[in-house]
Amino acid sequence: MATTNAPARRSRRAVTAAGLLPAAAAVLLLGGCGGTSAHGTASTGRPDGGGRTAAEAGAAKVPDATTFSTVPGAPKDAAPDGATDGLVVHPTEAAPVLDRPGGRRIATLPATELGGPTWVPVVESSGGWRRVLLPSRPNQASGWVSGAGLRTAHTSYTVRVELGKRRLTLLKSGRAAGRWKVAVGGAKTPTPTGRTFVLASIVPPDKRQSPIVLPLGTHSATLDTFGGGPGTVALHGWPDASVFGKAVTHGCVRVPADALKALSRVPLGSLVSISA
């Protein structure tokens, strides 16, 4: 993977999961564990009701790239088992997503997701274009965004989930910073494999199951919805330690309290690699 950095003057430190305030989207738990009931998309019309430009009309025909949407025509991640150099980007305003550099517009990447800033990982670069993973269906969806107007940061963290071993490893600069037994998806509701990323950090109103929920940019392959939400897979805690080491969830990854505390410090956009 050839990766070059965007201009340094736009660089900034990535937001950590623990740094977010409780999100209005946290009406219910997300994931193959629950979800929010509704989500609005940004209007592309003019406030005064006037005519649209060609660019605005084109934008109105494509979805926002969020966990609630499907992006038809999104190129599939070419290296779902691959690594990155930790480059993550944040659009300072809604950014067009194309199917290839200079190609057809397939979506709009909003500046915020689930009440916090949008940070997505860069998996490939070509000139001034960045190929990023998208939080939308289908799983492993990606798209190209212009490097202009993007804030950039580097994260040293990677989360590795091994489903067969029911194990989560937190890596910092390539070295294990923690390793825990976790609960993963059951046979009928498996946790999806491939690389994804930490999409958001949500403090649920009922913290008895988990004090924090970390939605990922991937979805259950067998559940179109769960608890009123879009079937978003998440990392979260669980009060009953007997589940750890078992395949019993609806697709989410349930982690021990000390693991959740460590994961809450992982910056948004950080890569999460899920393997069989």
Task: Show me where the domains of the chain are located.
Answer: 87-154, 157-274
Query: What's the whole-model pTM score?
Result: 0.84
Which pair of tokens denotes residue 135? 């939080």
- Write out pLDDT tens, residues 186-203: 999 999 999 999 999 999
E strand or H helix at 96, and its extent?
Answer: strand 95-98
Q: Count the neighbouring beta carbons within 10 Å of the beta carbon of residue 229.
A: 27
CATH class of the domain at 87-154: mainly beta
Q: What is the mean pLDDT of residues 224-242?
A: 87
Contact criterion met (CB below 8 Å) for 193 and 80: yes
pLDDT at 18: 60
Return the active site residues. Answer: 236, 252
Reported as a single tens digit per residue, the pLDDT across 114-143 is 999 999 999 999 999 999 999 999 999 999
The CATH architecture that domain 157-274 belongs to is: Beta Barrel (2.40)
**Half-sphere exposure of residue 73: CA atoms within 13 angstroms, side-chain side:** 12
4-18, 23-37, 97-111, 127-141: which has the minimum mean pLDDT? 23-37
